[in-house]
Amino acid sequence: MPVSVPTGLSPLDSILPDEPLLMMGAGPVPIPHRVAQANSIVINHLGDTMSQVIEQVKSMSRYVFQTESSRIMGVAGPGSAAMEMAVINLVCPGMKVLAICNGFFSDRLAEMAERVDAEVVCLKVPDGVTADPDEVREAIAKHRPAVITLVQGETSNTVLNRHLPEICRLARKHDCLVIVDAVCTLSTMPFEMDHWGVDAVITGGQKGLASIPGVSLVAFSERAWDHIRAREDRLRHWCLDAKLAHRFWNEKAYHYTAPVSGVLALHEALRLICRETLEVRFERHLRCSTALQSGIESMGLSLYTKPRDRLNSVVGINVPEGVESRRLLTHMSGVHRVEISGSFGLDIVRIGQMGEQSRSHHIFRTLHALGASLYALGVPVDIPAGVAALESTLDAYIFDGPG
């Protein structure tokens, strides 16, 4: 036997921290107990139990996506696999694609379209601001794309594309399909697939939905499905071929072995959303994120994105001068057991407000951990002022509503 058994292996218990860290970064997010429990079960991927689960996952997803479409499919893979599934099934080689590029994740959609040999035009949106519908209108008139790709929320620089409904309307007027990445935003803020006329929506498990990473969802409109059905070329990707996946998700036939535990976890995450209702869930996210933002600012820190274009699902904080973000993150997780995220290239740290992260006990602990860690690193932040602002903003919502 040429390869010998590895020595010095540690059991998982001795690798994991004694107490789990509070996951307050840009994903993965903490999962509810019911989701964790469901994730520990394995069932037959083609049995009757699984069919009932799949039917419910689809009907709950229709509610969460706000669509009547029956073309909803799970994907064994990260949010990026769902992005790729939307792109490769709707974009044919040589097709003109307008990619609205706000940052890291919207750039990824553009790259995926390039990789299937589309002719991709990037509309570069300056960092920190929302895409301008007038510029999108001009770009559509000039380039006549067949497909537009964009994100609802750009997690990387904490920008919200708040003109998304208008951009979808423009696309529709020009008979152009729209692919929207709603990975971090879905179920944290309004999204209306049918009403806005979105043709493909993508979400991951580990962000807004508060499920596990690695099992994602994609929904296609009937218009998108007509396009997929009419395609005669053979896709290069077998796993991500929507026509093949459709057999499992709508016809109870085998495609590949579905990630059954992850689908069960997703079922529970969706069920908790349905039980809470979208209205209440949006309100909870808005209230917690607004209160957290106010606490951060009152402590003496500044936020990266201006209020108008600010994403509430992920809050970006400018790192104070003289502080190395990595040291801040290490201090927060090492001393306070709270994990938040750095960023890809910008001098910000990011706190997530997705799913279970938007709970008052979690945001108090996180704000305190942030303040105390900065204080320890020599930044004179006013922790009591921050905590007081957090408390009074939460209170204002309880007694007066969001105003």
Ligand X SMILES: *Cc1c(COP(=O)(O)O)cnc(C)c1O
From the number of C-beta atoms within 10 Å of its C-beta (0-12, 13-18, 19+), residue 82 rates as buried
Residue 141: CB minimum distance to ligand X, A: 27
Interacting residues of 238 by C-beta distance below 8 A, sequence separation 6+: 244
Choice between 358 and 373, CB closer to ligand X: 358
How many helices (H) and strands (E) in the chain?
Answer: 15, 13
Interface with ligand X by CB under 6 A: which range of 36-44, 74-82, 111-119, 353-361?
74-82
Q: Is 220 left (phi over 0), alpha (psi -120 to 50) or beta?
A: beta
The first and second tokens of residue 287, run together, are: 């209230």
Element (DSSP H or E) covering residue 284: helix 278-298
Q: Taking CB under 6 A as the criterion, which residues in 80-109 touch ligand X?
A: 80, 105
User: Minimal distance in Å, beta carbon 65 to ligand X?
Assistant: 16
Q: Which one, 181 or 268, has the nearer CB to ligand X?
A: 181
Interacting residues with ligand X between 195 and 234 (CB under 6 A): 204, 207, 213
Closest CA to 218 of 110, 77, 96, 45: 77
- 355 binds ligand X, rule: CB under 6 A: no
The site for ligand X, by CB under 6 A, has a size of: 13
Question: Which tokens sit at 66?
Answer: 């706000």
Q: Does 342 bind ligand X (CB under 6 A)?
A: no
Question: Looking at 25, 27, 128, 320, which residue binds ligand X (CB under 6 A)?
Answer: 27
Task: Identify whether the C-beta of residue 339 lies closer than 8 Å to the C-beta of residue 25.
Answer: yes
Task: Indicate the residue among 216 and 373 with the shorter CB distance to ligand X.
Answer: 216
Q: Which residue is nearest to ligand X (CB)?
A: 79
Which residue number, 213 or 342, has a Cβ lying nearer to ligand X? 213
| Strand pairing class (159-160; 153-154) | antiparallel
Site for ligand X in 363-392 (CB under 6 A): none
Q: Which residue, 69 or 149, has its beta carbon nearer to ligand X?
A: 149
Binding flag, residue 78, ligand X (CB under 6 A): yes
Question: Would you say 162 and 309 are in contact if contact means Cβ atoms under 8 Å apart?
Answer: yes
Q: How far is the CB of 390 from ligand X (least distance, A)?
A: 25
The window from 75-83, 241-249, 257-265, 332-340 that contacts ligand X (CB under 6 A) reads: 75-83
Least separation in angstroms between CB 12 and ligand X: 23
Residues in a beta bridge with 177: 147
CA 177 to chain centre: 21
Rounded least distance, CB 183 to ligand X, Å: 4
Q: Quote the least distance from Cβ 160 to ligand X, whole Å.
A: 11
Nearer residue to ligand X within complex by CB, 107 or 132: 107
End-to-end CA distance of the chain: 71
Near ligand X in 2-21, by CB under 6 A: none
Among 25, 74, 79, 386, binds ligand X (CB under 6 A): 79
- Which residues, 149 to 188, sit near ligand X by CB under 6 A? 151, 155, 181, 183-184
Cα distance between residue 216 and residue 227, in whole Å: 22
180, 151 Cβ separation under 8 angstroms: yes
Q: Phi first, then psi: give them for residue 264, nearest 5 degrees.
A: -65, -40
How far is it, in rounded angstroms, from Cα 197 to Cα 192?
8
Rounded Cα gap, residues 115 and 100, in angstroms: 17
The rounded distance, in Å, linking the Cα atoms of 310 and 249 is 36
Least distance from C-beta 234 to ligand X, angstroms? Answer: 26
| Closest distance to ligand X from the beta carbon of 313 (Å) | 8
Nearer to ligand X, 67 or 341 (CB): 341
Would you say 120 or 314 has its CB closer to ligand X?
A: 314
Say if CB 95 and CB 73 are below 8 A apart.
no
Binding-site ranges for ligand X (CB under 6 A): 27, 78-80, 105, 151, 155, 181, 183-184, 204, 207, 213
